[in-house]
Structure 1
């Protein structure tokens, strides 16, 4: 089976839902942020502080290409979709599933979280601005799943059903990225 890439804004539940999908589908789950932290032996805030966001984005892109492309669920960091090359790579090598939630829910989950450099200390309005800037990139996905008010055990079967439909329809593996946002 092609890789399953879980994308979405910070704190939408990518890791939790990815782990549930891993149980349901009996597949390993790899979190790109955790992979990068282990590889560099630094946490994400330290990477941003010491090397900057561009260095981290380069590491994300490298990690994406180092990870398996079959029989795996990969949960991505919220900024993985910022580079068109990453979006194209994920589409060419797997199913891209974006999780969405409201800005209010995301803000409530993030407002005391200092582990996310791009959200730490942000007001609701600042977070909403970042969310809106990224939304077109998140929507460049095969499936968008609204998570607001849904439990993880309810979301996972929705995604599994969609994946099974895709596998049965034998979707072409040449999926290109010509219509992808820049």
Structure 2
């Protein structure tokens, strides 16, 4: 089976869904952000402060392309779709699952999270702006779209498994 790439806005549940999907499907999972943090020995926030968003996006592309292409789940950062190179690479080399979450739900999930460099300031306004800018990129990249708003984790994972069998 081709690698499964989970994409979606920050707070859409990619990492959490990826872990449970990995357990249910009995295949490994890897989170690109966590791998970058491990490799660099510092937080995403510090990486953004040191080399900026563009520098981080280059690291993200490099890490994405290091991932196995068979029998694997890769959870990505919310901005992985900003680079056309990444979108094309995931589409060509795996099955891309878009976890589509409404902005209000994202705000509820992230309102206490102070570790996200792109959400500094008015979080609600930043989420709405970024969501609007990115939504079409998620839609054009995902082979499979899963609506997650208001759904339990187990239901999301079961829907992904069912849709993967059809895909």
Residue pair 1:100, 1:148 contacting (<8 A) in 2 also: yes
Select between 86-95 and 117-126 the one with higher mean Cα deviation.
117-126
Distance 2:81 2:123 in 1: 23
What residue in structure 2 maps to residue 158 of structure 1?
Answer: 159
Residue pair 1:6, 1:97 contacting (<8 A) in 2 also: yes
Structure 2 segments unaligned to the other structure (5+ residues): none
Corresponding pairs, count: 166
Deviations 1:127-171 (A, max 9, x none): 2011100001110210111101111111111111111122xxxxx
What residue in structure 1 maps to residue 10 of structure 2?
Answer: 10
Deviations 1:7-64 (A, max 9, x none): 0000011011111110111011100000111111111000001111010000000001
Distance 2:7 2:122 in 1: 21
Residue pair 1:30, 1:73 contacting (<8 A) in 2 also: yes
- Counterpart check, 1:77 vs 2:77: yes
Shift of 1:100: 1.3
Select between 89-98 and 99-108 the one with higher mean Cα deviation.
99-108
Shift of 1:115: 1.2
Q: Please, what TM-score do these two structures have when normalized by structure 1?
A: 0.88
Distance 1:81 1:110 in 2: 20
Superposed, 1:49-60 pairs within 5 Å as 49-60=49-60
SS in 1 for 2:149: coil
Root mean square deviation of aligned Cα = 1.0
Structure 1 segments unaligned to the other structure (5+ residues): 167-182
Distance 1:3 1:64 in 2: 11
SS in 2 for 1:52: helix
What residue in structure 2 maps to residue 104 of structure 1?
Answer: 104
Q: Which has the higher helix share?
A: 2
SS in 1 for 2:117: coil
